Amino acid sequence: MKNNTSSTMASLSLLFCLLISLVSSHDSNHLPGFIYTRATGRCTPQFWSGRKETWPRMVPETSTVSNVFGWRVYKKYRSDLTLLEATARNDEADNPFGALLKEGTTALINSYARKGFPYKPWQVKTLVMQSFVSEVAASSQAKHFSLANHACS
C-alpha cells in the first residue's frame, strides 16, 4: 500500500510540474495543444475583416470591389459589396471566385500596408481582373494570394 501511494504521489508531482511549465511558458501566440485556435496572422483575411489595424488610406474599407477591381467583379457581385465585406466572406470553399475575391482583396491591402509583400498593388489588381475569366484561373490565383497572405508578417 505504501509503495502504491508513493508511486501515485510521484505521478501527481510530475503532472503538476508539467502543468506549471506549460502555464509559465504560455504567451499570447502559443496555447496548449488541446485548445483549438484559428490562426489570424497580421496579413490574413480574418485579421483585416476584424478591424484590428487601421486600413491603408489607398484602400478604405468602404470602397466597393467593383470600383477597385473593375467590371468583371461587378458582373459577379453586387455593386455595393465593400472591401471589408469581401475579406469577411465565407463562401471560398466551394466558390473559386469567392476565394479569389477574398484573398485578392487581402493581398491588395497587404500590398499597401506591409513592406516586403511580394505583390505590388497594380499587380494584385491586374491578377484579380485577369483571373476572373474562369474558375480554374480564379482558384489558382486565389491559392497564390493565400500563400502570400499567410506567409507575410
Note whether residue 114 is domain-resident: yes
Measure CA 131 to chain center. 20
The dihedrals phi and psi of 95, each to the nearest 5 degrees, come to: -135, 100
Alpha-carbon distance of 92 to 134, in angstroms, equals 15
Note whether residue 82 is domain-resident: yes
Note whether residue 10 is domain-resident: no
Note whether residue 36 is domain-resident: no
Helix (H) or strand (E) holding 25, with range, is none
Q: So what's the pLDDT on residue 28? A: 42
Alpha-carbon distance of 150 to 122, in angstroms, equals 20
C-alpha cell at 87: 475579406
Note whether residue 8 is domain-resident: no
Q: What is the pTM of this model?
A: 0.73
pLDDT category, 132, cuts 50, 70, 90? Answer: very high
Decide which of 105 and 29 is more confident.
Answer: 105
Q: How far is CA 126 from CA 53, 70, 106, in A?
A: 26, 10, 14
Alpha-carbon distance of 25 to 31, in angstroms, equals 9
C-alpha cell at 148: 502570400
- Residue located via cell numbers 510530475: 14
The dihedrals phi and psi of 30, each to the nearest 5 degrees, come to: -130, 120
- Residue-wise pLDDT for 34-73, tens only, equals 444 445 689 999 999 998 899 999 999 999 999 999 887 8
Note whether residue 22 is domain-resident: no
Q: So what's the pLDDT on residue 75? A: 80
Asked whether residue 106 carries a pLDDT value surpassing 80, the answer given is yes
Domain encompassing residue 130 = 45-151
Q: So what's the pLDDT on residue 73? A: 81
Note whether residue 135 is domain-resident: yes
Instruction: Give 20: exposed, middle or buried? Use CB within 10 Å, 0-12, 13-18, 19+.
Output: exposed
What value does the mean pLDDT of the chain take? 82
- Residue located via cell numbers 476565394: 99
Note whether residue 78 is domain-resident: yes
Asked whether residue 31 carries a pLDDT value surpassing 60, the answer given is no
- Count structural domains, the chain: 1
Asked whether residue 141 carries a pLDDT value surpassing 60, the answer given is yes
